[in-house]
Structure 1
Amino acid sequence: MKPAPIPSNEVERQKSLEAMSVLSTPRDPELDRITRLAERLFGSDIVAISLLDNDRQFFKSRVNLSVSETSRDISFCGHAVMYDAPLVVPNALEDERFHDNPLVTGGPEIRSYLGVPISNQQGYKLGTLCVIDGNQRNFTKEEIQTLQDLARWVETVLALRYTERSQQQLLKDLDTAQRELLIDTLTGIWNRRGLEELLSREISAAQMKKTPVGIFMLDIDHFKSINDTNGHLIGDKVIQSISEIMSSSLRDQDITGRFGGEEFVCILPGLRLERMMYLGYKICETIAEQCKVPNKDGEQISVTVSVGATWVSPQTTELYGSEQILQMADDALYKAKQAGRNTVRYLPLDAHGSLEVLDEAPPESPAV
C-alpha cells in the first residue's frame, strides 16, 4: 500500500480549511441532497464528501457509510487531491496504490472508486466528492463529467454555507476539538450539549431581534420494539435515517439534534405560531413516508414519530431559560404519546402562546 501523499502546500491548505469552520460540524441538508442524488445517479454502494484534516478524513456528508471519519493515510481521497483531474480506480485489487489497503482487504471492501477534488475560493483542495463500489466498475466519460458537475455544486454550497448561517457563530467560537464534543457521532447532527448551547444562543438572539422561537421534541414510536426485534444495528440505521430526513425537511436556519437515545430536538428560529402544528404534522408524515429501513429479513420497518411542540413569543423571550423551554416541549411530547403516537401536541409557555390542539393535520400550509 502507498500511503496517501501530503501536498506541498499542506500547511496553508490546512489553515484555509480550518478557517472555514466546516470540520466536526453537523450534517448539512444541501450537501446531503447532493450525495443522495449521486447515489441515485450512479447506483453506487457509498457516496461521500470527504475533507482531509491533518491525519484524518472527515466525512461532511455520507450515504451508506456508518463512520464519520477514517485515517488519512489509508484514504483514497488523500491520493485524489494530488491531481486536478478526477481519480478513477476501476479495480482497486489491480492498483499498486490500493491492492493491500485495509479499506480494500477489509470493510467496506472497496473495489472501484471515482473521486473529484473539491476546492475552496482560495484554490486549496479540501477533499473530494467520491462514489465507491464493492464491485469492479469502468466509469464512463459521462459519469465522470456528472460527478465533476456535482463537485462544483458542492464547492458552491461550501462557499455560501459557511458565511451567514445561524449556527456559524458557535462554530467560530470553538476550536475543532471543542466542536467534536457537540456533535453526535452516530448521526452527524448536534448532540444534547450542542443543542442546549445553541438554544441558549437562539433565545439571546431572539431577545435582541424581538423574534419568536419554536421548539419540537420528537421521539421514535415503539423504538424499544424495533431494537428488540431487529437488533441495535437496525435501530441505529433508523436513527440515522430520521436524522437525515429532518435535516433535509427543515429550513436552512433551523437546528436539528439528537437529544439522547431515540429523542430529537428541532430549534426553529423565527417560526410563526400559526405554522407550528402544520410543520409538526408535516414532519410526522414525511418520516412515515420516507424512513425506509429494511429489517433483518429485508422487509421494510414501519417507523413513526411523536412530536411535542412549544413556542417562545417575541414578548417573553426574557422570561424563559433553555431548561424550562425543553421541559415544556417534553411535556407536550408526553401528551402526544398519550394521544396515540404518530401525532403532534402543543403546550404554550405563556398567554401569548395559545394554539388549539388539533386532532389532524391542517389541509394546507399557512403563509410563512
Structure 2
Amino acid sequence: MIKPEVPKNEVERLYALRTLKILDSSHEERFDRITRMAKRMFNVSISLVSIIDKDRQWFKSTQGLELSETPRDISFCAHAINQDNLFIVPDASKDKRFFDNPLVTGGLKIRFYAGCPLKIRQGINIGTLCLIDTEPKYLNEEDQQLLEDLGAIIEQEIKSIELATLDELTMISNRRGFLTLADHSLKVCRRNQMSMSFIFFDLNQFKIINDEHGHHEGDFVLATFAKIMLNSFRGCDLIARLGGDEFVAMLSESNSDANYSGKADIALERFAGAIDQANKTLNKPYKIAYSAGVSYFKHDTDKSIEAMLQEADAAMYKQKKLMLYSSTL
C-alpha cells in the first residue's frame, strides 16, 4: 500500500477547512441530494462527499455506507486531493497503490473508485465527491464530465458556507467567522482552564499606500499581511481580518505557565521577524508596518469576545500613539 502524500500547502489547507466549520456537522439535504443522484446515475454501491481532515477522512454525506469516517492514511480521497483533475482507479485490486489497502482487502472490498477533488480556491482541495463500487468499472468521457459537473455543484454549496465566514481578499476568517470560532475556543479554554491572549493589529500608513500606489497595492499588502500571519502563528491559533486594515489573532495556553503572556510575546517576535524579511524580499517602494496591542485573560474571565477584542484594540491604539509621538521627537 502506498500512503497518500501530504499537500505542500497543508497548513493553509487545514486552516481553510477549520474556518469553514464543516467537520462533524450534521448531514444536509443540499449535499445528500447530490450523492443520491450520483449513486443512481453511475449505478455504484457507494457515493460520498468526503472531507480530508488532519488524520482522517470524514463524510459530510454518505449513500450506501454506514461509516462516518476512516483513517486518512488508507483513504483513496487523500490521494485525490493532491491533483486538480478526476482521480480514477478502475480496479483497486490490480493497482500497486491500493491492492493491499484494508479498504480493498477488508469488508468494503473496494474495486472501483472515482473522486472529483473539491476546491474552495485554486490549490486548496478539502475533499472529494467520490464514487465507490465492489466491481471494477470504467468511466467514459461523458461520465467523467457528469461527475465533474456534480462536483462543481458541491463546490458551490461549500463556497456558500465559505463566503459567510471568510474574507474574500485574504481568505482568512472575516469578523463573523472569527466570532463564531472564538466563541467555540472560549468554551474550550474555560473547560480546560487555559488562558487566552488577543492580539489586535492595525496597519500603519495604509491609506498612503492606497493613495500613492493604488488600491491594487493596498490589496497586495492586506493579502501579504494575512499570509504572514497564517505562516507565523500556530495552527491552533485563530486569525482574522476584522475589516479594513484591522486584523486579530486569538491564542490559548495553559494557566500553569508562570507568565501566561509568554506565547503571545513569542508569536509577536516571530511575526515581526517575518514582516522584516518580507519587506527586504519584496523590495517595494513602501514598507509594511503595523501597530499591535495585546490583552490577556484567564480562563475564568466573564468578559465577552467583543469586550476582550476592545481591550486589545485599546492596547493597540496606545502603542500607535506612542509610535507617532516618538516619530515627532
TM-score by length of 2: 0.52
Structure-2 change in CA distance of 1:209 and 1:300 (3 Å): same
2-side partners of 1:10 and 1:217: how far apart? 51
What residue is the counterpart of 1:16 in the other structure?
50
Return the offset for 1:325: 0.1
Please tell me whether Structure 1 or Structure 2 has the larger radius of gyration of its CA atoms. 2
What residue is the counterpart of 1:337 in the other structure?
320
1-side partners of 2:118 and 2:280: how far apart? 28
What residue is the counterpart of 2:294 in the other structure?
309
CA shift digits 1:2-35 (9 cap, x unpaired): xxxx9958996662249567xxxxxxxxxxxxxx
Structure-2 change in CA distance of 1:227 and 1:321 (3 Å): same
Residue 284 of structure 1 contacts residue 304 of structure 1 at CA under 8 Å; is this kept in 2?
A: no
What residue is the counterpart of 1:199 in the other structure?
182
Structure-2 change in CA distance of 1:8 and 1:300 (3 Å): farther
Structure 2: which 5+ runs fail to align? 1-37, 53-57, 61-79, 90-102, 104-109, 129-156, 255-259
Cα root mean square deviation, aligned: 4.2
CA shift digits 1:229-264 (9 cap, x unpaired): 111111101111111111011111011110111111
Structure-2 change in CA distance of 1:260 and 1:13 (3 Å): farther
Is it true that 1:127 corresponds to 2:117 in the alignment? yes
1-side partners of 2:208 and 2:221: how far apart? 12
What residue is the counterpart of 1:210 in the other structure?
193
Residue 175 of structure 2 contacts residue 241 of structure 2 at CA under 8 Å; is this kept in 1?
A: yes
Q: How many residues align?
A: 207
Residue 215 of structure 1 contacts residue 309 of structure 1 at CA under 8 Å; is this kept in 2?
A: yes
Superposition map of 1:126-275 within 5 A: 126-127=116-117, 177-270=160-253, 272-275=260-263
One-letter amino acid of the structure 1 residue matched with residue 269 of structure 2: Y
One-letter amino acid of the structure 1 residue matched with residue 272 of structure 2: C
CA shift digits 1:298-339 (9 cap, x unpaired): 84531111111011113x33x111111000000011011112
Residue 88 of structure 2 contacts residue 114 of structure 2 at CA under 8 Å; is this kept in 1?
A: no
What residue is the counterpart of 1:284 in the other structure?
272
Structure-2 change in CA distance of 1:16 and 1:231 (3 Å): same
Which secondary structure does the structure 2 equivalent of 1:181 belong to? helix
2-side partners of 1:20 and 1:334: how far apart? 45
Structure 1: which 5+ runs fail to align? 1-5, 22-51, 53-59, 62-75, 85-120, 133-150, 160-173, 344-368
Structure-2 change in CA distance of 1:11 and 1:126 (3 Å): farther
CA shift digits 1:260-291 (9 cap, x unpaired): 11111101122632332332233223213225
TM-score by length of 1: 0.47
Residue 199 of structure 2 contacts residue 292 of structure 2 at CA under 8 Å; is this kept in 1?
A: yes
Q: What percentage of aligned pairs have identical amino acids?
A: 23
Which secondary structure does the structure 2 equivalent of 1:212 belong to? strand
One-letter amino acid of the structure 2 residue matched with residue 336 of structure 1: Q
Structure ranking higher in helix proportion:
2
Superposition map of 1:33-48 within 5 A: none
